[in-house]
């Protein structure tokens, strides 16, 4: 662990340009994870470009009605696990360092654009060995062309996807190599709604340079309509090499979902429900989930805390071999689904998750989170975030999987540079104790992220 932490701590101490420490009156677009949805066209005004040291790099005029935008992310993240997967992992005590750099170039020519973002991702100390999501070396993360036709925008190529709050389709930004897709997307503006049509295949990272490839087993298609406070969507999914309950087969799954979200005074909410149907290996699919998130901010209290309660119910399979598969498939969800430490994923689970966060001043923020997990169905086991079965149901009758606590602190040192740390502990419950190794998982995370 010491060897992993020293390079990370050294990166935390890197100096940044003095100008970057000045908060300017001009409000730049919010930096996003996908980067391509940042709009820097307002910097065509040379006076605005002069307001911040990044201005000349975010808008580079190159001719009549043509300009470039550039940027980069440099991240170092160190993680240390104790008794991972309750002591059942191949390397339960693991400490490693992730390093990645993701520069990008965004070329605009009239109503057309070309966006290119390579990635250099390396890992040090991963045991027993680094996987392609830890280390892909040098590869192409995103590269697409786009044309704006007024009410319709067409895009084709390699791109990251983020739909809603990423319960089903996310970037998996937290891991060292984010998730990307190859395919086409059309965004249509209809009144206040934006309707996105998708036809995609996920990208499978390779362990060497320039060997990431389009998946030949998985495909995603659908339509996602986003209104000011309501999302409605259909997503189709195919996997020729799916596996459920120890059975391999071809999976065709259809998801119908809605999401209600918004802010009223000091209240905020995000409620999402999904029903799935289709077939797998001769079985009929009938699965569902309901996720709720309700919070309240207290602006008159010291530190203006925000209290939030999340409740998720995700179906599992009731009985193997009955011709009906009730196991929910979260498709491509965000990587940190329940927090920084997420050994369990959104399949066959009931979770209760209260959280309190506060702004401490001086760019500091902190949060304290608790989680408790139960199996939704006794006939099904426990899954990780990608949907792999990590603890079979066996003869384990208890539903209770375990409880977790997490504290996180972040410091926005400059507009471009953030430092963060988190500590998590997951104590096993009766089901884990009855079905295998049952030690308490601990994880310490340290991160330095510089983006502009």
CATH number, residue 94 = 2.40.160.100
The larger pLDDT score, comparing residue 92 to residue 337, is at 92
Which has the minimum average pLDDT: 39-53, 261-275, 350-364? Answer: 39-53
- 347 falls within a domain: yes
Q: Determine the pLDDT at residue 24.
A: 44
Q: Determine the pLDDT at residue 26.
A: 61
- 401 falls within a domain: yes
pLDDT of 30 over the 90 cut: no
Q: Is 394 exposed, middle or buried (0-12, 13-18, 19+ CB in 10 A)?
A: exposed
- 8 falls within a domain: no
> Which tens digit of pLDDT belongs to each residue from 152-173?
999 999 999 999 999 999 999 9
Nearest to 188 by CA among 220, 156, 150: 150
Q: Determine the pLDDT at residue 262.
A: 97
Stretch 129-145: mean pLDDT: 97
Which has the minimum average pLDDT: 51-60, 134-143, 197-206, 265-274? Answer: 51-60
Nearest to 313 by CA among 292, 336, 290, 294: 290
Stretch 178-207: mean pLDDT: 97
Q: Determine the pLDDT at residue 397.
A: 86
- 18 falls within a domain: no
> Which tens digit of pLDDT belongs to each residue from 416-441?
999 999 999 999 999 999 999 999 99
- 411 falls within a domain: yes
Q: Determine the pLDDT at residue 275.
A: 98
pLDDT of 66 over the 60 cut: yes
| pLDDT tier for residue 229 given thresholds of 50, 70 and 90 | very high
- Domain that residue 262 falls in: 73-103+118-451
Q: How far is Cα 20 from Cα 23, in angstroms, rounded to an integer?
A: 8
Q: Determine the pLDDT at residue 341.
A: 84
> Which tens digit of pLDDT belongs to each residue from 323-358?
999 999 999 999 888 888 889 999 999 999 999 999
How many structural domains is the chain composed of?
Answer: 1
Q: Determine the pLDDT at residue 20.
A: 39
The larger pLDDT score, comparing residue 397 to residue 451, is at 451
- Give the pair of three-digit tokens for residue 163: 């739909």
423 CB contacts (<8 Å, ≥6 apart)? 406, 407, 442, 443, 444, 445
Q: How far is Cα 323 from Cα 84, in angstroms, rounded to an integer?
A: 34
Stretch 261-269: mean pLDDT: 97
> Which tens digit of pLDDT belongs to each residue from 365-397?
999 999 999 999 999 999 999 999 999 998 878
Q: Determine the pLDDT at residue 395.
A: 81
- 40 falls within a domain: no
| pLDDT tier for residue 63 given thresholds of 50, 70 and 90 | confident
Stretch 290-298: mean pLDDT: 97
pLDDT of 9 over the 80 cut: no
Predicted TM-score (pTM) of this structure:
0.91
- 60 falls within a domain: no
> Which tens digit of pLDDT belongs to each residue from 405-417?
999 999 999 999 9
pLDDT of 2 over the 70 cut: no
224 CB contacts (<8 Å, ≥6 apart)? 163, 164, 195, 196, 198, 231, 233, 235
Q: How far is Cα 282 from Cα 165, in angstroms, rounded to an integer?
A: 32
- 402 falls within a domain: yes
């Amino acid at each position: 662990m010491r060897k992993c932490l020293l390079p990370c701590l050294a990166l935390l101490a890197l100096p940044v340009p003095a100008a970057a420490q000045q908060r300017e009156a001009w409000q730049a677009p919010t930096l996003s994870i996908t980067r391509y949805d940042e709009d820097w066209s307002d910097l065509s005004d040379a006076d605005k470009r002069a307001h911040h040291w990044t201005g000349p790099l975010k808008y580079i005029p190159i001719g009549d009605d043509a300009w470039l935008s550039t940027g980069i992310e440099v991240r170092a993240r160190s993680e240390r696990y104790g008794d991972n997967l309750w002591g059942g992992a191949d390397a339960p005590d693991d400490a490693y360092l992730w390093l990645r750099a993701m520069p990008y170039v965004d070329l605009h020519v009239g109503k057309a654009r070309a966006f290119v973002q390579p990635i250099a991702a390396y890992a040090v100390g991963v045991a027993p060995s680094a996987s392609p999501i830890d280390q892909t070396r040098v590869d192409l993360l995103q590269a697409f062309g786009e044309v704006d036709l007024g009410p319709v925008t067409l895009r084709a190529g390699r791109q990251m996807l983020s739909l809603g709050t990423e319960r089903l389709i996310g970037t998996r930004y937290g891991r060292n190599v984010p998730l990307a897709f190859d395919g086409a997307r059309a965004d249509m503006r209809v009144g206040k709604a934006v309707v996105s049509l998708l036809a995609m295949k996920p990208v499978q990272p390779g362990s060497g340079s320039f060997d990431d490839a389009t998946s030949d087993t998985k495909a995603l298609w659908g339509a996602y309509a986003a209104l000011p406070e309501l999302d409605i969507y259909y997503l189709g999914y195919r996997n020729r090499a799916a596996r459920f309950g120890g059975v391999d087969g071809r999976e065709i799954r259809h998801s119908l979902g809605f999401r209600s979200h918004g802010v009223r005074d000091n209240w905020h909410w995000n409620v999402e429900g999904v029903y799935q149907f289709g077939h797998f290996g001769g079985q009929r699919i009938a699965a569902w989930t309901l996720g709720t998130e309700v919070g309240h901010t207290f602006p008159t209290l010291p530190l203006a805390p925000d209290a939030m309660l999340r409740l998720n119910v995700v179906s599992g399979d009731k009985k193997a071999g009955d011709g009906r598969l009730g196991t929910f498939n979260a498709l491509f969800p965000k990587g940190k689904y329940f927090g920084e430490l997420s050994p369990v994923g959104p399949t066959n689970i009931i979770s209760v998750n209260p959280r309190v966060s506060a702004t401490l001043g001086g760019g500091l923020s902190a949060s304290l989170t608790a989680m408790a997990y139960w199996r939704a169905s006794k006939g099904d086991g426990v899954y990780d975030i990608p949907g792999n079965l990590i603890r079979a149901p066996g003869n384990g009758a208890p539903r209770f999987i375990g409880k977790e606590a997490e504290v996180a602190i972040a410091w926005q040192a400059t507009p471009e540079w953030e430092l963060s740390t988190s500590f998590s502990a997951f104590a096993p419950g009766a089901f884990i104790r009855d079905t295998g190794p049952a030690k308490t998982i601990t994880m310490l995370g340290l991160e330095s992220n510089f983006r502009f």
